[in-house]
Amino acid sequence: MSRPRIQSLSAVTPGDLGRRHFLRGAGGAAVGVPLLEYFSGNAQAQMTPPKRVLFMTAGHSQEPSATGESWSPVATHNAALPANLSPILSPLIAHRDRLLVVDGIDNIASGLQPTNGHNGTSRTMLSAMPIKKALDANGNLLAAPPECTIGEDSAGPSIDYFLADAWKETMLSLRVGSPPDEHVRSFRMDLSRDLHEGNPQTAFTRLFQGYKGGTLSAADRLRGKRTSILDNVRGNFDRLLTKVGGEDKIRLQRHADQIRQLETSLQTVVRLVCDNPTYKAPQALTGVNFNDGDGRNDDKIVAGQLELVKMAFACQATRVAHIHFSNIQTNKFPFLNGGQDLFSIGWHGIIHRDEGTDQQRLQTMQWYTKVVADAVSLFAATPDGDKGTLLDNTLIVFMSSLRQSWHGTINLPIILAGNLGGTLKTGRYLKYNKRTTGDFFTTLLNVLDVPAKSFGWTTGARDGTPFFTGPLPGFVG
């Protein structure tokens, strides 16, 4: 049982100016808080709001047509972003001065093992590591690693979880689409895969559970006993584990280990800085299927999730969030076409330019950058600290696992928004040459005050590109 972790310590809320703090404990019971006295309202208001990060990740390529560049704003390294950006980035034009568009970052870890177009490209995307099975017991790369299939997991944690762990935060893990199978991108510190939560209401309840203004309900009191109950459950696993072997033992042991992990996560204590947190999606989500691979309500879902991220960041329930766009096969995008499906066959075939038109491809790719623009607008309109906005203290990181329509992971599409309290000079286009996700994530960690020397796989090179060189020069500006 780990010691309860105090999470966020400071700042004020949007609107209702927090003067109270809540703890999210192992269950409904409010936990006694000796530290409360440290944080009177005045003390908080004088503190600098903390840095936050929202990752938004997709899994599609960015080549709507066979000829011509549609993503890069066509500018030289460190130049100011042009007024019209680029076709795919055009929804972000209004936020041009708040952006960094980064080119030249390759995911070469994907090539460390055989894979189809998605399993390996996604699993290595945020970890900059090969899959577990590509390594021997000493962590060295096998001469002939096995194929990265749907069952494989990364050999390293993903950047979102790594950052949350470094900051001692709970990762707010959200998903737009069906639970990922090929497109698994996030791995916890114990390297278990994260499938993310689709329903923002459920995610809200979990993140904020435990705050109750009045008396505890029976459900709260039962939840308050989760630790004792889960201990008891693990005892039942231990009893059975002595009697089984082989695959049964592996399966049941994994389940038991995960219960221990769940127990630990329930020990996390969250300090909030806003009164009476409630959640309401901007567009009603009643009846919405959060596992819909066709993505017919993806616009409403992501709007609801952005609202939750905004609230969680503003209340400082956490500082790290990830919105994972998992639909990549059969998306229909009716919200881009007056309620009618934009096309009848799967989007996947369209992205690969088997079917569909360049205009259809561009339209769908622009939807994702529009969502980034929505996030920027929302955070820019949310107060944070004494006089700033949430955007002033938040970095939005948009990435896709693919750039080329043939499942290529060279020159990944990356957009950053927000200047982290003036740390980053935005409005620039950064064009690196053959740098890696390991270099990029190390750079990110450093600007987020995590003194990492490297991230991911650091040994050797692939096709002339070293896996790790160091932080990106000129990134801060």
Partner 1 sequence: MTEPQTPALTSVNLEGSTSMIQVRLHDARFGALVCLILSVPMLACSGSINAGSTGGGGGDRSGGNAGNGNGGNSKTGGNNNTGGISVPDCPTAVLPFSFEAVRLTDVQYRNTISSLFSFPIDIGTKYPTSSSRYAFTSFAAANDVLYADLQNILETSESIALQAVDKIAQVVSCAPTGDGVACARTFLQGFLPRAYRRPVQTAEIDHLITLYSAVRAGTDPLDFNLAIGAVLVSVLQSPQFLYRVDIGTPGVTPGLLKLDGFEVASRLSYLFWDSPPDDILKTRATKGDLGNKDVLVSEAERLLADPRARTTVARFFSEWMGASGKVFADRVAAPIAASFAPEFDRFVTDAVFDADADIGALVSAGHTFANKSLQQHYGLPVTAKDDNDWLRVDLPPKLRAGVLSKAQVAAAHAHTGDTSVILRGNFALGRLTCFDVGLPPAGAVAMNPELPPGSTQRARIEARSSIALCKSCHSAMDWMGYGMEDLDQVGRIRDTYQGNGTPVDAAGIAVPFDDATFTGTAGLASLLKANAEITGACLATQWYRFATAHTEDETESQCHITALNKAFANSSYNLKALLVGIARSDAMLFRKEVK
Residues 308-337 that bind partner 1 (CB under 8 A): 329-330, 332
Cβ atoms of residues 252 and 241 within 8 Å = yes
> Which of 132, 226, 434, 462 touches partner 1 by CB under 8 A?
226
Closest by CA position to 316, among listed 3, 33, 20, 40: 20
Return the residues of window 176-195 that contact partner 1 according to CB under 8 A: 179, 181, 188, 192-195
CB count, 10 Å around CB of 232? 10
Cβ atoms of residues 363 and 342 within 8 Å = yes
Q: Is the dihedral of CA 337, 339, 340, 345 positive or negative?
A: positive
Return the residues of window 24-43 that contact partner 1 according to CB under 8 A: 29
To partner 1, the closest distance from the beta carbon of 66 in angstroms equals 7
CA 273 to chain centre: 23
To partner 1, the closest distance from the beta carbon of 230 in angstroms equals 8
> Which of 262, 284, 381, 461 touches partner 1 by CB under 8 A?
262
Should residue 142 be labelled a site residue for partner 1 when binding is judged by CB under 8 A? no
Cβ atoms of residues 334 and 298 within 8 Å = no
- Distance (Å, whole) CA 477 – CA 474: 5
- Of 91-99, 246-254, 270-278, 447-455, which segment contacts partner 1 by CB under 8 A? 246-254
Nearer to partner 1, 52 or 332 (CB): 332
465 token code pair = 């590109």
Return the residues of window 424-463 that contact partner 1 according to CB under 8 A: none
- Distance (Å, whole) CA 448 – CA 167: 10
Amino acid sitting at position 424: L
Should residue 403 be labelled a site residue for partner 1 when binding is judged by CB under 8 A? no
Nearer to partner 1, 90 or 192 (CB): 192
> Which of 6, 166, 233, 380 touches partner 1 by CB under 8 A?
233
- Distance (Å, whole) CA 337 – CA 351: 17
- Distance (Å, whole) CA 19 – CA 40: 7
Return the residues of window 274-303 that contact partner 1 according to CB under 8 A: 294
To partner 1, the closest distance from the beta carbon of 197 in angstroms equals 8
- Distance (Å, whole) CA 348 – CA 329: 5
Should residue 116 be labelled a site residue for partner 1 when binding is judged by CB under 8 A? yes
To partner 1, the closest distance from the beta carbon of 195 in angstroms equals 4
Helices (H), 297-450: 298-314, 347-351, 358-380, 437-447
To partner 1, the closest distance from the beta carbon of 265 in angstroms equals 9
One character per residue 341-370, x = contact with partner 1 (rule: CB under 8 A): x-xxxx-xx--xxxxxx-------------
> Which of 15, 146, 151, 282 touches partner 1 by CB under 8 A?
151
Cβ atoms of residues 184 and 79 within 8 Å = no
Should residue 98 be labelled a site residue for partner 1 when binding is judged by CB under 8 A? no
To partner 1, the closest distance from the beta carbon of 239 in angstroms equals 7
Return the residues of window 64-83 that contact partner 1 according to CB under 8 A: 66
For the chain, the 3-state helix, strand and coil shares in percent, each to the nearest 5, are 30, 15, 50
> Which of 137, 144, 243, 387 touches partner 1 by CB under 8 A?
243
- Of 163-171, 256-264, 305-313, 455-463, which segment contacts partner 1 by CB under 8 A? 256-264
Should residue 146 be labelled a site residue for partner 1 when binding is judged by CB under 8 A? no
Strand partners, 269: 6
Burial state string for 80-99 with b = 16 or more CB within 10 A and e = fewer than 16: ebeeebbbbbbbbbebbebb
State the number of binding residues for partner 1 (CB under 8 A): 73
To partner 1, the closest distance from the beta carbon of 13 in angstroms equals 27
Q: Which residue in the block uniquely carries the two structure tokens 């995590």?
A: 450
> Which of 4, 41, 82, 114 touches partner 1 by CB under 8 A?
114
To partner 1, the closest distance from the beta carbon of 55 in angstroms equals 17
Helix (H), strand (E) at residue 172? strand 171-176
- Distance (Å, whole) CA 475 – CA 101: 11
Nearer to partner 1, 168 or 255 (CB): 255
Q: Which residue in the block uniquely carries the two structure tokens 């972000």?
A: 92
Nearer to partner 1, 130 or 471 (CB): 130
> Which of 45, 141, 166, 230 touches partner 1 by CB under 8 A?
230
